[in-house]
Amino acid sequence: MDLISRIGQHFADSAQTKLDAVELLSPLIAQAAETMVASLVGNGKVLACGNGGSAADAQHFAAELVGRFEVERQGLAAIALTTDTSIMTAVGNDYGYNTIFERQVRALGQSGDVLLAISTSGNSPSIIEAINAAHENDLRVVALTGKGGGKMGAMLRDGDIHLCVPSSRTARIQEVHLLTIHCLCDAIDCLLLGVE
């Protein structure tokens, strides 16, 4: 396959994965947005975490809420747990990498908050520990996964929302995660502001 055809195939595969996910994820994204809005209007916040590309997605989501997405509004309470290198390296050094988000969820999370937990495989130990901490502290969990959901999918509880991309390719899962984040931001604005 020549390079141009290979690139074209990436575009086609990305578009097809998104189309495959529409019916499955749309109602769950709406439910996740409603859950987040209920927390935000109740003086709660959204904590977001992920590793690697998923860390970037967590930061992107928090930036859209604290700043703005497409319409002007008040900043919304969201924290990316991936951004404080002093906390992450201190906790990782003293307690192990798997606790870098769990410790922050325990310190910052309160009943009624929401944890946005992102892992393409659903098997990231640091995200699993964050979900355990969220459950123990009465936070709702919105999980963004792929590859069947992995261990995260199996540990979610009633009231949690599982947005599992129907793909086994990491790049395609990440592309749908980004679209999902944009859909969440738009839906949150729609619910809060009545945006048409």
Nearest residue to 177 via CA among 1, 2, 55, 42: 55
CB contact at 8 A, 140 and 30: no
Report the binding-site residues: 51-53, 60, 64, 93-94, 119-121, 124, 174, 182
Binding annotation for substrate: 51-53, 64, 93-94, 119-121, 124, 174
Q: Which residues are annotated as a binding site for Zn(2+)?
A: 60, 64, 174, 182
Residue 176 exposure: Cα atoms within 13 Å on the Cβ side: 30
**Six-digit token pair at 135?**
């459950």
Q: How many beta carbons lie within 10 A of that of residue 63, not counting itself?
A: 15
